[in-house]
C-alpha cells in the first residue's frame, strides 16, 4: 500500500547530508512495513529487531564503535553491511538504549552508511537518555490518510482529482456521492494499515472489527511498559473514557469525580507520549506561530484513529455503515459531529511535515457567556486559516464569522461538511473528503501521489 511518507524516505536516502533517521509513531501505524519497502531500493538490507533478538544487545554493550558493531552484525546475520549499498534497520530500538546512543557515532564515523530505526514507544526512552542534537533526524508517522486509503482501494484517479480540485467549482454530483461513499468506508475501516489491508482483500467488516479490537488490546498491553504499577488504573480509566469525550473541552472531572488532576494528568501525558492520544490546544490565533499564544491548560483530545475510536465505543461496523450518506439513521446522532471533527484532525496530522512533530490548535472566545468556537486553526504559507467541521450539510457558521470579524487580517476560513464545493465571501467550503485538496489549494503540490 502506497504511503505518502515514502517519498520523504527516498529524499532522505538520496541526500548527501543524510543523518541516521528515527521514525516515531504509535504501534501498528506501518513503520516497519514502509522501511522494508525502502530496503528494496538497496542491494543489501539488514533488519534487526531488538525485541525478537534480545541477545544482539550484547554487541552494543561492549562499546559503541560503529565499525566494530557492523563487523559483528555481519558475522551474526551472515549479511554484508556496505556503505552506500546497505540499509541497516534497527526495529523496536527502544528495547536497546545503547543502540539509540550509537546512532550518534554512526553519523560521526560512518556517515556514508544508511541507518534507519523505528520503535513504538521511543519517546519514553528518548526522554530518559536524550538524543544528541544535530546527529539524528526524526520522522513522524500516523495512520493512513484518506488519500492513502483511496490509493489502496484503487481509486487513484479520484485521489488525483481531489488534490487538484479547487473550492471554486462543484464536483459533478455522481463524483460527489462517490466521495461521500468512500469516506463512509474510511470512517468504518480507519487508517490502521492492517485493517485497510483486510478491507481490500476481504471486504469483511467483521474481520476488520476484530483487527480493531486486537490493536486496542495491544495498546492496553503496552501500559505496563511505560507506566508505574500505581498508575495503571488511571491509564486504563483515561484510555476507556477519552473516546466518549473526544473534541470536547477537556476537564479531568469528566473522567471521574473519584480522582484528582494531580493523579490523572501525568497518566494522560503518558498516553499522549505513546501516540494513542493527541491534544488540540487553545490558541488566541492573533499571529504566527500559533503556539506562541497557546494555552496548554485549555485543550481537547483526539484518539489515534477514527475507526479505533468507534470500536472503543462498542459500535459494530455494520451499525456504522453509510452514516455519512444516511444521516437519518439514529445510532450516530449523538456523536457523529465529534467523529467528523476527529476525522479532520486526523487528516491534518497525516498531511503535516514528516520531519517535525505537528501541533493542532483551536480557538474559542473567552468572554463570559460566549459559545463561539472554531474547531481548528491552521497555519499554512504564513497564513492563519480557521476551520469549522460539520457532520451534515452545515449551518450558519456563526463562530467562523465571529472569528473572521474579530481578526480582520485573516483572508479566509475553511468549512468541511457533506456539501459540495462552494465559496461564499471569505469562507471556502469543501466536502469532508477533501481535506488534502484544501491543503493543496493553499500550498500547491504539498501532497503528491
pLDDT digits (tens, 9 = 90+) for 230-274: 999 999 999 999 999 999 999 999 999 889 999 999 999 999 999
Look at the alpha carbons of 304, 275, 288, 399 in this order and tell me if their dihedral is positive or negative: positive
Look at residue 420 in the predicted model and tell me its pLDDT.
95
Q: Name which of 47-56, 84-93, 309-318 the model is least confident about.
A: 309-318
Average confidence (pLDDT) over 18-44: 97
Look at residue 330 in the predicted model and tell me its pLDDT.
44
**Is residue 188 within a helix (H) or strand (E), and if so which, with residue range?**
helix 173-189
Domain ranges of the chain: 5-140, 146-442
Taking a C-beta distance cutoff of 8 angstroms, is the pair 26, 273 a contact? Answer: no
Q: ω before 42 within 30° of 0 (cis)?
A: no
Look at residue 331 in the predicted model and tell me its pLDDT.
47
DSSP secondary-structure letter at 172? P
pLDDT at 386 exceeding the cut of 90: yes
- Nine cell digits for residue 323: 452514516
Average confidence (pLDDT) over 175-185: 94
Look at residue 394 in the predicted model and tell me its pLDDT.
67
Look at residue 323 in the predicted model and tell me its pLDDT.
57
Widest Cα–Cα separation across the chain:
70
3-state secondary structure 260-306: CHHHHHHHHHHHHHCCCEEEEEEECCCCCCHHHHEEEEEEEEEECCH
pLDDT at 320 exceeding the cut of 90: no
Would you state the CATH architecture of domain 5-140? 3-Layer(aba) Sandwich (3.40)
Look at residue 322 in the predicted model and tell me its pLDDT.
57
Which candidate, 251, 269, 272, 248, places its Cα nearest to that of 260?
Answer: 251
| Number of other residues whose CB lies within 10 A of the CB of residue 315 | 19
As a whole number of angstroms, the distance between CA 195 and CA 401 comes to 39
As a whole number of angstroms, the distance between CA 415 and CA 431 comes to 8
Task: Please state, in angstroms and as integers, the Cα–Cα distance from residue 41 to each residue in 36, 92, 225, 415, 425, following that order.
Answer: 9, 22, 34, 41, 49
As a whole number of angstroms, the distance between CA 108 and CA 90 comes to 18
Average confidence (pLDDT) over 82-109: 96
Task: Please state, in angstroms and as integers, the Cα–Cα distance from residue 243 to each residue in 113, 189, 250, 312, 409, following that order.
Answer: 43, 17, 12, 7, 36
Nearest 10 degrees: Cα torsion 428, 433, 437, 365: 40
Q: Name which of 3-17, 99-113, 120-134, 164-178 the model is least confident about.
A: 120-134
pLDDT digits (tens, 9 = 90+) for 322-344: 556 665 554 445 678 899 999 99
Cβ-proximal residues to 252 (8 Å cutoff; 6+ apart), any chain: 259, 260, 261, 264, 265
**Is residue 385 within a helix (H) or strand (E), and if so which, with residue range?**
strand 383-389
Which region, left, alpha or beta, applies to residue 278 given φ > 0 means left and ψ of -120 to 50 means alpha? beta
pLDDT at 30 exceeding the cut of 90: yes
As a whole number of angstroms, the distance between CA 434 and CA 426 comes to 18
pLDDT at 321 exceeding the cut of 60: no
394 vs 298, residue with greater confidence: 298
Look at residue 253 in the predicted model and tell me its pLDDT.
93
Could you give the 3-state DSSP secondary structure of residue 413? Answer: strand
pLDDT at 371 exceeding the cut of 60: yes
Amino acid at each position: 500500500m502506497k504511503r505518502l511518507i515514502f517519498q520523504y524516505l527516498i529524499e532522505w536516502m538520496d541526500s548527501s547530508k543524510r543523518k541516521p533517521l528515527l521514525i516515531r509513531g504509535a504501534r501498528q501505524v506501518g513503520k516497519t512495513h514502509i522501511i522494508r519497502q525502502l530496503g528494496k531500493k538497496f542491494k543489501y538490507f539488514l533488519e534487526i529487531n531488538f525485541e525478537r533478538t534480545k541477545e544482539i544487545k550484547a554487541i552494543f554493550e561492549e562499546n559503541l564503535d560503529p565499525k566494530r558493531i557492523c563487523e559483528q552484525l555481519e558475522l551474526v546475520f551472515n549479511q554484508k553491511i556496505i556503505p552506500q549499498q546497505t540499509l541497516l534497520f534497527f526495529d523496536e530500538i527502544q528495547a536497546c538504549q545503547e543502540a539509540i546512543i550509537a546512532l550518534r557515532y554512526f553519523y560521526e564515523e560512518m556517515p556514508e552508511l544508511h541507518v534507519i530505526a523505528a520503535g513504538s514507544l521511543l519517546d519514553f526512552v528518548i526522554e530518559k537518555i536524550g538524543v544528541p542534537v544535530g546527529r539524528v533526524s526524526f520522522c513522524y508517522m500516523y495512520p493512513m490518510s484518506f488519500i492513502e486509503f483511496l490509493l489502496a482501494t484503487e481509486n487513484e484517479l479520484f485521489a488525483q482529482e481531489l488534490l487538484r480540485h479547487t473550492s471554486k467549482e462543484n464536483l459533478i454530483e455522481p463524483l460527489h456521492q462517490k466521495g461521500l461513499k468512500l469516506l463512509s468506508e474510511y470512517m468504518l475501516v480507519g487508517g490502521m494499515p492492517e485493517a485497510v489491508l483486510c478491507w481490500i482483500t476481504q471486504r469483511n467488516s467483521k474481520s476488520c472489527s476484530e483487527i480493531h479490537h486486537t490493536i486496542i488490546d495491544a495498546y492496553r498491553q503496552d501500559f505496563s511498559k511505560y507506566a508505574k504499577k500505581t498508575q495503571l488504573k488511571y491509564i486504563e480509566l483515561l484510555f476507556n473514557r477519552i473516546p466518549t469525550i473526544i473534541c470536547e473541552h477537556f476537564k479531568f472531572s469528566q473522567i471521574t469525580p473519584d480522582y484528582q488532576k494531580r493523579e490523572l494528568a501525568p497518566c494522560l501525558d503518558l498516553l499522549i507520549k505513546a501516540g494513542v492520544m493527541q491534544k488540540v490546544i487553545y490558541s488566541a490565533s492573533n499571529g504566527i506561530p500559533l503556539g506562541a499564544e497557546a494555552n496548554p491548560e485549555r485543550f481537547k483530545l483526539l484518539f489515534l484513529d477514527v475507526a479505533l475510536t468507534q470500536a472503543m465505543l462498542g459500535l459494530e461496523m455494520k451499525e456504522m455503515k453509510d452514516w455519512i450518506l444516511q444521516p437519518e439513521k439514529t445510532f450516530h446522532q449523538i456523536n457523529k459531529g465529534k467523529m467528523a471533527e476527529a476525522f479532520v484532525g486526523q487528516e491534518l496530522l497525516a498531511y503535516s511535515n514528516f520531519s517535525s512533530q505537528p501541533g493542532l490548535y483551536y480557538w474559542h472566545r473567552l468572554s463570559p457567556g460566549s459559545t463561539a468556537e472554531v474547531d481548528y486553526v491552521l497555519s499554512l504559507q504564513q497564513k492563519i486559516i480557521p476551520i469549522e467541521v460539520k457532520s451534515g450539510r452545515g449551518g450558519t457558521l456563526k463562530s467562523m464569522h465571529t472569528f473572521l470579524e474579530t481578526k480582520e487580517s485573516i483572508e479566509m476560513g475553511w468549512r468541511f461538511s457533506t456539501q459540495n464545493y462552494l465559496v461564499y465571501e471569505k469562507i471556502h467550503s469543501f466536502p469532508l473528503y477533501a481535506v488534502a485538496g484544501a491543503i493543496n489549494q493553499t500550498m500547491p503540490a504539498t501532497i503528491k501521489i
